[in-house]
Amino acid sequence: MTTPRMLQFVDRQQAMPDKRAADARRRDFGEIYEGYSDTGAASQAGRCSQCGVPFCQVHCPLHNNIPDWLMLTAEGRLEEAYEVSSATNTFPEVCGRICPQDRLCEGNCVIEQSGHGTVTIGSIEKYITDTAWEKGWITPIKPMRERGESVGVIGGGPGGLAAAEQLRRRGYKVTVYDRYDRIGGLLIYGIPNFKLEKDVVLRRARWLEESGVEFALNTEVGTTISFADLRAKHDAVLIATGVYKARDLKAPGVGQENIIPAMRFLTASNRTGLGDTVDDFDSGALNAAGKNIVVIGGGDTAMDCVRTSIRQGAKSVKCLYRRDRANMPGSQREVANAEEEGVEFVWLAQPEGFTGDATVTGVRSQRMRLGRPDATGRRSPQPIDGEIDTHEADLVIMALGFDPEDLPVLWGEPELPVTRWGTVKVDHRTQMTAMPGVFAAGDIVRGASLVVWAIRDGRDAAASIHDYLKARAAAPAAAE
Ligand SMILES: Cc1cc2nc3c(=O)[nH]c(=O)nc-3n(C[C@H](O)[C@H](O)[C@H](O)COP(=O)(O)OP(=O)(O)OC[C@H]3O[C@@H](n4cnc5c(N)ncnc54)[C@H](O)[C@@H]3O)c2cc1C
Ligand code: SF4
């Protein structure tokens, strides 16, 4: 069902020149485009009580020194605020936009817990860093000294890039290899533009390049270049390849046309936004405009798919999830945003088949109820006999989560240690695998996680690589 709100939004997007469209976006989707003036940021930052028990800092994976940069912002000392905030975070403008702050820093703000509304930490972090870019305070890295050793980083997502930045600061030669044609990983082709504008990511990529980091794009380790060659070429290697194997659903009719994985849909949308020609988007195959869309899944990727569908001008958008709202993995804030934009959520609905003949026409779902908690502590969904619904669909998007690709097989490296889930096994104190000089960071170690955790891992891995290379230089024989 197309709601008046959806129509208004789509009409305005299509008809308006840029500035007016941006204003309309701000009105319609204010949670993302919330902006500050200097005085607005200062007064919001001034709400921090400097409570002395900075739970916000503890619950930020980077342990950002939030109270200090809030105080500096409140005092109008923005350049210093930027210095403090960027000391622990490689991409503060990204985290400020897309961290699930309600579960991290802001959710643990003492003022929030006393019922007075959190200090909007993420928005202030974004504001400080956007201002630093505007004012020219962010300049290319100039290491104190250049070092002879080089590090190869596989994967140009936030994990790999955070490591690249930290290694470059320490003077190493760094090459980032990525199979995509642009740097950024899921920041560029996964997360939609309405949550994270692509020029924000590309600006950081340019800055890294100006800082001396080399990018080898369209280079897939395992095909374009072998892992063994990469190891031979560099003194240390970091694996930061993320997780990309989409989980499947086994149900009758699942192989039909118009049932597509979430990443195909989101990548096409992001590429189009970046100005690329995407034939499957232009032909309508990967475009939600005018269609009844059914998204299957209850995580943040599903939320991105439903909200992207709305923005493309879908006729109706439904999201099917087999548990209830309270037990979904996605952020409650995202669900509220999606509902407000006109998405219909069908809770306790397990897809059990697809109608249509070659081209899907609908999704049949089994109604569920929640039973006892399973081994993970979550209440497991159980079918209610005979209760089946059918949902009309012109395009079905599967957002059931991601698993790691089988790196030891793809790379012909049976020695690369992986867990039973396929994630790369590391010593968590050093991020190093059992292969000397081979480290790993981000989703490929944790499983699908968050940008801020990938940044944290990348920074930690860089510190360990530095220690490893220093130790090797001091005692070459011992490290062999
Ligand atoms: C749709 C979607 C929305 C999300 N939204 C959010 C959000 O709002 N907030 C949040 O915090 N997190 C979000 N996440 C999670 C977040 O994007 C990831 O946790 C994060 O990007 C992981 O970073 P990474 O560097 O480990 O991997 P990635 O970002 O996945 O980057 C890995 C890179 O490695 C490259 N690569 C892989 N294999 C090879 C190879 N063999 N050779 C060369 N290159 C290779 C890939 O091309 C890619 O560029 C979202 C994820 C998805 C899928
Ligand atoms: S990095 Fe994320 S969790 Fe940490 S302060 Fe910024 S928005 Fe909050």
Give, using CA atoms, the residue closest to atom 3 of ligand 2: 60
Q: Is 194 touching ligand 1 by the criterion CB < 6 Å? A: no
Min mean pLDDT across 24-33, 66-75, 180-189, 294-303 is at 24-33
Answer with the residue of higher pLDDT: 230 or 14: 230
Q: Is 442 touching ligand 1 by the criterion CB < 6 Å? A: yes
pTM given for the model:
0.91
At residue 391, does pLDDT exceed 50?
yes
Q: Which pLDDT belongs to residue 331?
A: 82
Q: 281 — phi, psi (to 5°)?
A: -80, -45
Q: E strand or H helix at 18, and its extent?
A: helix 18-28
Mapped onto helix, strand or coil, the DSSP state of residue 372 is strand
Closest atom of ligand 2 relative to the 104 alpha carbon? 3
Distance of alpha carbon 171 from alpha carbon 165, whole angstroms: 10
Q: In the chain, what is the straight-line distance between the N-terminal and C-terminal CA atoms, in Å?
A: 64
Q: With contact defined as beta carbons under 8 Å apart, do 254 and 170 qualify?
A: no
Q: With contact defined as beta carbons under 8 Å apart, do 438 and 237 qualify?
A: yes
Q: With contact defined as beta carbons under 8 Å apart, do 265 and 365 qualify?
A: no
3-state helix, strand, coil in the chain (%, to 5): 45, 20, 40
The tokens for 185 are 């990983």
Q: Which pLDDT belongs to residue 6?
A: 43
Give, using CA atoms, the residue closest to atom 5 of ligand 1: 191
**pLDDT bucket at 114, cuts 50 / 70 / 90:** confident
Rounded to the nearest whole angstrom, what is the distance from the C-alpha of residue 242 to the centroid of ligand 1? Answer: 5
What is the CB-side half-sphere exposure of residue 392 using CA atoms within 13 A? Answer: 6
Identify the nearest ligand to the CA of 103 by its number: 2
Q: Is 266 touching ligand 1 by the criterion CB < 6 Å? A: yes
Q: Which pLDDT belongs to residue 476?
A: 58
The tokens for 137 are 């305070």
Residue 432 DSSP one-character state: B
Q: What is the mean pLDDT of residues 407-434?
A: 97
Identify the nearest ligand to the CA of 263 by its number: 1
CA 383 to chain centre: 33
Alpha helices in 314-395 (DSSP H): 332-341
Give, using CA atoms, the residue closest to atom 48 of ligand 1: 185
The tokens for 252 are 């009758």
Q: With contact defined as beta carbons under 8 Å apart, do 435 and 416 qualify?
A: yes
Rounded to the nearest whole angstrom, what is the distance from the C-alpha of residue 252 to the centroid of ligand 1? Answer: 31
Give percent above pLDDT 70 in the chain.
92
Rounded to the nearest whole angstrom, what is the distance from the C-alpha of residue 448 to the centroid of ligand 1? Answer: 8
The count of other CB atoms within 10 Å of the CB of residue 55 is 16
Identify the nearest ligand to the CA of 244 by its number: 1
